[in-house]
Amino acid sequence: MRLTDGAHADPILTGKGLTKVYASTGSGTARKAAVDGIDVSLLPGECLAIIGESGSGKTTLSRLLLGQLRPDAGQVAYEGGPVLHGSQAAKALVRDSALVFQNPFASLDPRWTIGRSVAEPLLAARLKASRYGWHRYQREQDLADRVAKVLSEVQLDPGRIMTAYPSDLSGGQAQRAAIARALIVKPRILLADEPMSAIDVSARVGILHTLQSIMARSRQQSDPSNGMSMIIISHDLGVVQHIADRIMVLSRGKVVEEGSVRTILDYPSRSYTRQLLAAATL
């Protein structure tokens, strides 16, 4: 595990006994647990990979953890406070988290320039703070500087990309822009849901390096408790082995195996995990 001081910190996010049940397709009475009694925790500065085949429950679990779904049983806590509807912890979790989705072209507005799209979360946050009376020019100049900085951090040229539209970009460039948009508000938790599955193999390497550099910068902070944490959702163990500290393997809504990257890769205890390893692409 690559964490040092952060490994001894209290978890920033926890889930205890998380359960989410849906009605089965085609039946009015049968019900299926997409997530079934899962315990999970996320440390400051840690990258947790949640791995499993389609239908394993990994996306449902991530949505429960970020308060986007309410569990049918169990409890999520952020910084020790219960994430309940309208609670302070729930509001703080919304403010402190950001998402990167699978398909960047579906998440970037085709009518907006990349500069506008990347700036949008910051614009929304600053609108709430307009009572501070920032001067319009100062606000716009600072915004442009922030957008340029975060685009550079994801290996995009601000001078060319800020005025481009999503249709002008490759899949890899568009996903980097989507990552920049998530990072501009300096989240404490970044959720990346299958961030490489919708782009070609050559571009995946670039996205992987981008995510690695983001986590490396986070871990260089003097106070590990302030480092950004990441949850990466994937079906591909080959991708996450290069960035994750810890891996949780899901199958049919349950945790079948969990441990450090090296433990899972070198000593997988379940045949299901060995099958995922055999199918790894990177």
Is the Cβ–Cβ distance between 180 and 118 less than 8 Å? yes
Q: In the chain, how many domains are there? A: 1
Q: In angstroms, rounded to a whole number, what is the distance separating the alpha carbons of residues 229 and 215?
A: 8
pLDDT at position 8 is: 63
Residue for token pair 């595990």: 1
Cα distances (angstroms) measured from residue 196 to each of 53, 65, 157, 204, 207: 15, 21, 21, 5, 7
Task: Return the number of other C-beta atoms located less than 10 Å from residue 221's C-beta.
Answer: 14
Cα distances (angstroms) measured from residue 65 to each of 1, 8, 231: 22, 21, 10
Residue type, 250: L
pLDDT at position 140 is: 72
Is the Cβ–Cβ distance between 181 and 112 less than 8 Å? no
pLDDT at position 161 is: 97
Q: Residue 258's domain is classified under what CATH number? A: 3.40.50.300
**Sequential pLDDT tens for the chain (282 residues):** 455 444 567 999 999 999 999 877 665 566 788 999 999 999 999 999 999 999 999 999 999 999 999 999 999 999 999 999 999 999 999 999 999 998 999 889 999 999 999 999 988 876 655 544 444 444 677 889 999 999 999 999 999 999 999 999 999 999 999 999 999 999 999 999 999 887 887 788 888 889 999 888 888 876 766 789 999 999 988 888 889 999 999 999 999 999 999 999 999 999 999 999 998 887
Q: In angstroms, rounded to a whole number, what is the distance separating the alpha carbons of residues 192 and 257?
A: 21
Q: In angstroms, rounded to a whole number, what is the distance separating the alpha carbons of residues 270 and 187?
A: 35
Is the Cβ–Cβ distance between 184 and 121 less than 8 Å? yes
Helices (H) and strands (E) in the chain, counts: 11, 10
Q: C-alpha angle 47/51/56, rounded to 5°?
A: 140
pLDDT at position 78 is: 97
pLDDT at position 132 is: 45
pLDDT at position 199 is: 81
Is the Cβ–Cβ distance between 104 and 178 less than 8 Å? yes
- Sign of torsion, CA 168 173 175 179? negative
What global pTM score does this model have? 0.89
Helix segments in the chain, DSSP class H: 58-65, 88-96, 104-107, 114-128, 136-153, 158-161, 171-183, 201-219, 237-240, 261-266, 271-278
Residue 117: both structure tokens together = 């799209």
pLDDT at position 242 is: 87
Give the structural domain span for 116: 5-278
Task: Return the number of other C-beta atoms located less than 10 Å from residue 249's C-beta.
Answer: 24
With b for 16 or more beta-carbon neighbours within 10 A and e for fewer, the 137-156 pattern comes to eeeeeebeebbbebbebbbb
- Burial class of residue 196 (count of CB atoms within 10 Å of its CB; 0-12, 13-18, 19+): buried
